[in-house]
Amino acid sequence: MVVGSGIRRRRRSSLGADGVVSKCREAVSPGAGSTPGRVKEIVCAAYLPDLAEELEHTFLKFVHPAGGLAVGLVPVGDGQVVWFVQFDTERYARPSGDAVLPFLEATLQDFPEVVRRVVAGTAGPTPHVWDTVDMEPVPQIVRGNVALAGDASHVFLPFTSQGANSALVDAQQLAEYILGSTNPAGVTAALARYQQERQPVKHRYLSAGRALARGFVEPVADNAFAIPLVL
């Protein structure tokens, strides 16, 4: 997400969304590079009203004891269950096209019965492979009257569990600071405050997400299991 705001005779603002592959990020902070994430995700949806009713408001996650493989299930209403698979690409080759569903069927055959139910209830075209990206926070998220927010500003690993939350906080704080400004100097100060307050948080989330990703690819120790959630 990219937000631009400027004041001339009257205040004007514009909003753009170019996310992880942001071109505006390159303009604001040139040279920001990224590497493919080792752990990728496959996101699916299935219409399973009986299972959705059983789950109610419960989020289930199963982690393979050998590490490097996990499945999560989330009921989202109207009988739909959204589910995802996180897998280590150094152990499992990334599937594509028509090979995704057979990959899920073969890889998850030893998982609990509820997982096999969602696999069986998932239509062929539904699964989507999410190619994760690992990227350092950009040095600056503000340049002139342009400010970066959301994925354009911070590309987190999925283990961070803070991509959407952080984007919402970005938008809320940026709007709050700018709306409190009454002149161009005030907008400049508001954008500087936004960068100063949001950058340290993003570094913390990224570090925690990387630590969880490293732990994910290792075997699960009974006395040292870490819940993959950054708070």
The confidence score (pLDDT) of residue 4 equals: 43
Dihedral angle of Cα 170, 44, 41, 77, to the nearest 10 degrees: 40
Q: What is the pLDDT along the chain (231 residues), one digit of tens a residue?
A: 444 433 344 455 566 677 777 878 888 888 777 788 899 999 999 999 999 999 999 999 999 999 999 999 999 989 999 999 999 999 999 998 889 999 999 999 999 999 999 999 998 778 999 888 888 878 888 988 889 888 888 777 777 777 788 889 999 999 999 998 888 899 999 999 999 998 888 888 888 888 888 889 999 875 555 555 544
pLDDT in the model for residue 105: 95
How far does Cα 3 stand from its chain's mean position?
20
Q: The tokens 């990703």 sit on which residue?
A: 213
Please report, for the domain that includes residue 102, its CATH number. Answer: 3.30.9.30
Last residue of one domain, picked from the residues 130, 159, 189 = 130
Residue 10 has what pLDDT?
A: 45
Print the domain residue range for 78: 39-130
The per-residue pLDDT for 2 is: 45
Are residues 149 and 75 located together in one domain of the fold? no
What whole-number distance in Å separates Cα of residue 166 and Cα of residue 150? 7
> Which residue among 96, 130, 164 closes a domain?
130
φ, ψ (nearest 5 deg) of residue 92: -125, 125
Q: Are residues 168 and 149 in the same domain?
A: yes
Same domain, residue pair 28 and 44 = no
Q: Are 1 and 149 in contact (CB under 8 A)?
A: yes
The three-state secondary structure class of 116 is helix
Residues 44 and 24 in one domain: no
101 neighbors 122 (Cβ within 8 angstroms)? yes
Give the count of domains, the chain: 2
**Do 206 and 150 share a structural domain?**
yes
Which pLDDT belongs to residue 229? 53
Judging by beta carbons within 10 Å of its beta carbon (0-12, 13-18, 19+), is residue 138 exposed, middle or buried?
Answer: buried
- Listed residue (39, 73, 59, 67) closest to 222, CA to CA: 67
The predicted pLDDT at position 7 comes to 38
What letter does residue 219 receive in the DSSP assignment?
P
